Amino acid sequence: METGALKRKAAQIRMDLLRMIHRAGTGHTGGSLSNTDILTSLYYRVMKIDPANPKWAERDRFIASKGHAVESLWCILADRGFFPKEELETFSRFGTRLIGHPNNKVPGIEMNTGALGHGLAISVGMALAAKRDGRSSRVFCLMGDGEQAEGSVWEAAMAGAHYRLDNLVGIIDRNRLQISGPTEDVMGLDPLDDKWSAFGWHVVPVDGNDVDALVNVFEAAPEVSGKPTLVLAHTVKGKGVSFAEHVPKWHHHVPNDKELALALSELSAELGSLEQIKGGQA
């Protein structure tokens, strides 16, 4: 998918996840909006996957270590055909497979996540297994920035460098907000780039809401042989909804009817602008 189509798809996914959260009355809105461009770039352009054969041995793996921001992932997996789109209407209902964190009973989900700090360690194991099995698979692990306060993240970072896992790509959704406020107030993280470099990773800062830039970074990895890649994706929490951007309460705020209508109006306008650009290029 070319980058213009990726931008349009990201706007559509944001609209879908807002409707889903509103309908369910629960969800992690801000982080799902911030990571949408990352997931859209991976699932529609970069990753080697087959929705008709989700257990294909040569597939690339994606681990949502920040599992609470699952809403964008559910919408993308449905749109890619891993399960019927109609199932999105069951999100967070009693008995559903589509719970508030990734659930590996759903095709396309590699592991259950939720408790922060575990996804990178599992990803290290998957990347090491691919190396030892002689597979070309890459492993992508999306982490939150607040998650960087977990010690297990840094144990896994050491292991990834030690085993020279250049088929491993860690991604930090660096929106600088977590449930209890700005990350630098809760537990200072900067300079994250220097810290990951010191742990032996090749660090690439990028605008995490720019699909052109994201695609270039993901497709180039690994740029350094024998080193895992850390994509430091600078994003906006609540991206795409003006009154949600940079607002801490939108971490898990559910839009009411008025807020949903306003948000969909903004995203529809953005989608319309992108469609006009598409038409002008045709």
Taking only the tens place, the pLDDT of each residue in 21-65 is 999 999 999 999 999 999 999 999 999 999 999 999 999 999 999
* pLDDT more than 90, % of the chain: 95
Q: Give the confidence band of 275 by pLDDT, cuts at 50, 70, 90.
A: confident
Q: What is the pLDDT of residues 153-193, one digit of tens each?
A: 999 999 999 999 999 999 999 999 999 999 999 999 999 99
Is a pLDDT exceeding 70 seen at residue 266?
Answer: yes
Closest residue by Cα to residue 48 from 36, 35, 62 = 62
Report the distance separating Cα 282 and Cα 266, nearest Å: 25
The 3-state DSSP class for residue 230 equals strand
Is a pLDDT exceeding 90 seen at residue 281?
Answer: no
Alpha helix segments (H runs only) across 42-107: 71-80
What are the domain boundaries of the chain? Answer: 3-281
Per CATH, which fold does 3-281 belong to? Rossmann fold (3.40.50)
Residue keyed to tokens 């660090």: 203
The CB density around residue 50, as the number of other CB atoms within 10 Å, is: 13
- Rg over alpha carbons for the chain, rounded to the nearest Å, is 18
Report the distance separating Cα 1 and Cα 38, nearest Å: 14
The answer to whether the pTM exceeds 0.95 is yes
Average pLDDT over residues 76-100: 98
Q: Give the confidence band of 279 by pLDDT, cuts at 50, 70, 90.
A: low
* pLDDT more than 70, % of the chain: 99
Average pLDDT over residues 87-111: 98
Q: Give the confidence band of 118 by pLDDT, cuts at 50, 70, 90.
A: very high
Q: How much is the pLDDT for 277? A: 82
User: String of b and e for 55-80 (b: at least 16 CB within 10 Å)?
Assistant: eeeebbbbbbbbbbbbbbbbbbbbbe
Host H or E run for residue 181: strand 181-182
Report the distance separating Cα 104 and Cα 20, nearest Å: 20
Report the distance separating Cα 258 and Cα 245, nearest Å: 17
Helix, strand, coil percent values for the chain (each to nearest 5): 50, 10, 40
Cβ-Cβ contacts under 8 Å for 150 (sequence gap 6 or more): 116, 117
